[in-house]
Structures are given as C-alpha cells and as structure tokens.
Amino acid sequence: MNNAKIALTALTVVVALMTLFVRIPLPSRGYFNFGDVAVVFSGLVLGQLAQNRKFLWGAAAGGIGSALADIIGGFGLFAPITLIAKGMEGGLCALASGRPRYIRWAFLLLGGVSMVAGYFIAETLVPSIGLQGAVSEVLPNLIQAGGGIAGGTLTYGAFRHVAGEAGRKGTP
C-alpha cells in the first residue's frame, strides 16, 4: 500500500464513522449530518497526496464512506444517491487542493453545489420523496454543504499544522 492508498482507506473509515456520529432526520426522509466536514477534509488531504486522478481519489473516500454510513445507519434508500452526490463533492474538493486561493474556493463551492444539486435531482426522481421532499431538503443540504466547506477547510488547516506541511504533505 502506498501513502495515498493508506490515506484513502483511513479516510473512508473516518467519513463513514463521522457521518454516523451526529444525525438529525429531515422532512424528506433523509438526515442532516456533519459528515461533509469529513468529506471535504478527505478531498483536501487526498488531493495533496494523489499524484494523478485526484478527482477519483477524493470521490472514492467521500462517496464510499458516506454511502456505507447510509447503509449501516438504516438509510439504505439514499446510499446510491449519496455515493454519487458525496463522491462529486469529495472529488471536486480533491481538485481544489493545492490550487491558488480563488480557484481553490471555486472548486470547494462547486463541490458543495454539486452535492446539493445531486440530492435534489435524485430525490425528485424517487417516487416516495418527490419534488416536495426534494425542495424541503435544499436548505438543510445548503447548510450542510456550507458547514462542510467551512469546517473541512478549518480542519484541514489544523491538520496541516499538526502533520507539518513540509515534506510529507497529507501523511501524518
């Protein structure tokens, strides 16, 4: 296992566990969680570690970890949607890593918006949720995405401080 693979395994577990840590049910039968902080953090760490295909590394940690949490946590209906929506978010955050400030923020915001849009489109198509449920989840998802970007970026900053950016980048 190389550094990126070790980090991917560790971060997939972190995303799954942190998503399960705090959960608040939503009107659309989904749930609000702070797992996005871990998804954004994972994307940023893996974006630093992976030499190429950054998007796939970030998407794998965010998507698989969150989908696992959905399945274990009894929200299995959302697992396929989560795999794509959170995968997009994690992937775009990985692309944001190491870029100049404005481009980085643009990618992070794009990641958050893609997550919200992904859930909205998919939930509209699910008969048991429909447009009404999908609309009611837009605001909590936006808060989740915003909190994820803010929390994930701050967590990543603190992590870089702990791990020491020089030399080893995303590895502890």
Partner 1 sequence: MPMLKLSALALGTGWFFWLFVFGPLYSHLPAQSAALAVALLWSYLRFGRRETISLLKFCLPFVAFLLAFGLIFHFTRLLGRQDWLEDTIVKCLVFPSSLTFLKIMLSYVTYLDILRLPLSMNRRIDMITVKSAFQKGSRALKRFSWYLNTYSGLKSRHRIRYAMTRYACLIIALYLFLYQEIENSNRLLKNRYRHLG
Neighbours of 151 (CB within 10 A): 16
User: Which lies closer to partner 1 via its Cβ, residue 74 or residue 167?
Assistant: 74
Looking at the Cβ atoms of 32 and 105, the one nearer to partner 1 is 32
Q: Between residues 20 and 110, which has the closer beta carbon with respect to partner 1?
A: 20
The answer to the question of residue 132 lying near partner 1 (CB under 8 A) is yes
Give CA–CA dist 158/1, Å, rounded. Answer: 26
Task: Answer whether 150's CB lies under 8 Å from 38's CB.
Answer: no
CA distance 117 to 34: 18
Among 132, 101, 137, 105, smallest CA distance to 119 is for: 137
Q: Does 167 bind partner 1 (CB under 8 A)?
A: no
Give the type of residue at 154: L
Residues contacting partner 1: total by CB under 8 A: 44
> Containing H/E element for 31?
strand 31-33
Site string for partner 1, 17-46 (x = CB under 8 A): xx-xxxxxx-x-x-x--x--xx--x---x-
Q: Does 55 bind partner 1 (CB under 8 A)?
A: no
| Residue 143 in the binding site for partner 1 (CB under 8 A) | no
**Least separation in angstroms between CB 31 and partner 1:** 8
| Contact call for residues 153 and 44 (beta carbons, < 8 A) | yes
> Could you tell me which of 40, 22, 41, 42 has the C-alpha nearest to residue 32?
22
d(CA 80, CA 30): 13
In the list 127, 162, 166, 167, the residue contacting partner 1 (rule: CB under 8 A) is 162
Q: Does 154 bind partner 1 (CB under 8 A)?
A: yes
The answer to whether 129 contacts partner 1 (rule: CB under 8 A) is: no
Query: What does the binding site for partner 1 look like in residue numbers (CB under 8 A)?
Result: 1, 5-7, 9-11, 13-14, 17-18, 20-25, 27, 29, 31, 34, 37-38, 41, 45, 71-77, 132-133, 136, 151, 154-155, 158-159, 162-163, 171-172
